[in-house]
Structure 1
Amino acid sequence: MADTVAAAIRAATLAIGESDPIARLDAELLMAGALGVSRSDLLLRHMRDAPPPSFSNLLQRRLADEPVAYILGSAEFYGLKLDVTPDVLIPRGDTEVLIDRARDAFADKAPQRVLDCGTGSGALLLAALAQWPEAQGTGIDRSAAALEVAARNAQSLDIAKRTTWHVADWDAPGWDDALDAPFDLILANPPYVEDDAPLAALVRDHEPAGALFAGPEGLDAYRALIPQLPALLAPDGRGFLEIGSRQADAVSAICAAGGFATQVHRDLAMRHRVVEIWVNC
């Protein structure tokens, strides 16, 4: 058995698989969780300590393909620490580009009202509200359990007074009746994975299918949601929709048919990631 934290992390990285690009990161995060410290504190101050007994149990869960975020119960998004459970999709760094582009769009005038469609953990809405302290936000999700996680995150970030949450399914008639439109900024990370897409077991076996899959082309959610957005977006507002890397043309066409002008943005890996929309006057 490894006699230091550093040695235990090396062994855990090998066990997870050196070919896994996040094996080392996962091992470090699990060790930090076992020690009850931040990852940076782990790397700076604890590498020569004896590994805690609880680390082994956490590692075994990761080796059984359980995501680290669910094991630890939290994930970071845009500098915010968020609670996550298997009821919500794990926030990903690629999604942060929606907030980056929204900040660009509202550099001169902050949005006052923000809507997050399919809010899950609340990651997008809470990150937006953290950028604009005067803004009010509404998050909708068809999962009541997900909204409980989002509301808890809003409370822990001291943003709860500026948020409202609604159980709503954009496939159901009248889903937006309680939303008090219009909104200056609309954010959405809808399901966009093809039903038969090959996914890693970490994702396929643990994250909520309803937040991932959207028909044979991965476009069902866009086809349902986008035609309803003109009634929700203010005339001078902006919307930002996350897309799969090969969906830019298809989603842009759906937006254009719905009366929107569009611009596609790339993520840090230079993959198509966001379609920005505004009313095409």
Structure 2
Amino acid sequence: MSFNMFTQPLKSLLSTSSSKLFSSTASASSSSSIIRSASTFTHLGDLQPAKGSTHADIRYGRGPGSQRGGTSGRGHKGQKARNGKGVRLGFEGGQTPLHRKVPKRGFNNFTSKQYAPLSLSTLQQFIFEGKINPDEPITINTIIRSNAVHGLSKYQGIKLLGEPNFDLPLPSLNLNLSRYSKISAESIIQSGGKVTAIYHNNLSLRKEIFPDKFIGKQIKDAKPTRKTDILYYTNPKKYGYLADSIPTSARKMTTEQWSEGAVPVTNTTESPAQI
């Protein structure tokens, strides 16, 4: 009995199937049917993760044969061998750690205020183009409506800066902004104008920008509460709006006097009749 009698049917089967699969005369319908029949052999149960993407968890304390028995890979005694491993990140054995040796850099002053810059030349340009009326008092609302300053929500007011543009006219203006640089304020005053530094908190600034939202609401004008703001807006050299109402220095006023709006009395000698 020869071995070919068993292998002959297998060879014929392979030759016929390969001829059907790889023959150039096979139609598109037959190839698509073969692909569909082959795709039916794949099921969800046959899916498995890629090789090397998973690994078995290490089993600690399961005898010396596991290579992690006894001390479970922690060694003998010591701080790191205890339950919880009580060594925090950055701990250097009790000596001064590195994050305390390196000095701190930078400082964020939470009381500082940022003012939106407005150049005097830009103000002249907007007045020359007719976007701002120079005959009326110019306030923060006027500047916002003219689009000379954008993004005022992240600022606490507007500060006038810079020198004037001598190619443009500079009429006499009445400015009521937050602050002024020395050159810009002197330029406005020399042209016959007037500058006044007015304090605004968040609520009064919103009222200045959106006056329509506060119609019918009784909201008092803002009043500075911090010492630096009080000294600034009561200083006539800074063109503060409280310089006229408070003739004496704000340094001599107590907190109660300032909150009540009282003006401190200057040092006077009592008359003999009052003694």
TM-score, normalised via structure 2 length: 0.19
For CA contacts below 8 A with separation 6 or more, give which structure has more relative contact order. 1
Structure having the larger proportion of residues in strand: 1
TM-score, normalised via structure 1 length: 0.18
Task: Please tell me whether Structure 1 or Structure 2 has the larger radius of gyration of its CA atoms.
Answer: 2
